[in-house]
């Protein structure tokens, strides 16, 4: 299940690997400014259908649940 999730995220990013520069910046800086929003939308798209049991899934007691990783990624990239 966890591998399927990451495989889906990877396919989504590969399929949509177009960085549209944000206006008002040079092309390269504009692409870098676009990356956080691209990451956030890609994660949201791929986890929207997960239920609470799936987002609370722990592969082992030392890991983090998927939900915590989602919150971390979307919060730090927002």
The verdict on pTM exceeding 0.75 is: no
pLDDT at 45: 82
Query: Could you tell me the residue ranges of all domains in the chain?
Result: 2-77
- What local confidence, expressed as pLDDT, does residue 77 receive? 57
Cα torsion angle, 63, 16, 44, 31, sign: positive
Mean of the pLDDT values across residues 53-68? 88
Distance, CA of 33 to chain centre: 15
pLDDT band at residue 48 using 50, 70 and 90 as cut-offs: confident
Confidence of residue 13 (pLDDT cuts 50, 70, 90): low
């Amino acid at each position: 299940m966890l591998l399927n999730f990451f495989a889906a995220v990877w396919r989504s990013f590969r399929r949509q690997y177009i960085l549209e520069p944000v206006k008002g910046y040079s092309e390269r800086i504009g692409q870098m400014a676009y990356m956080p929003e691209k990451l956030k939308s890609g994660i949201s798209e791929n986890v929207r259908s997960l239920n609470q049991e799936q987002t609370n899934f722990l592969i082992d007691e030392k890991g983090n649940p998927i939900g915590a990783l989602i919150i971390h990624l979307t919060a730090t990239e927002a």
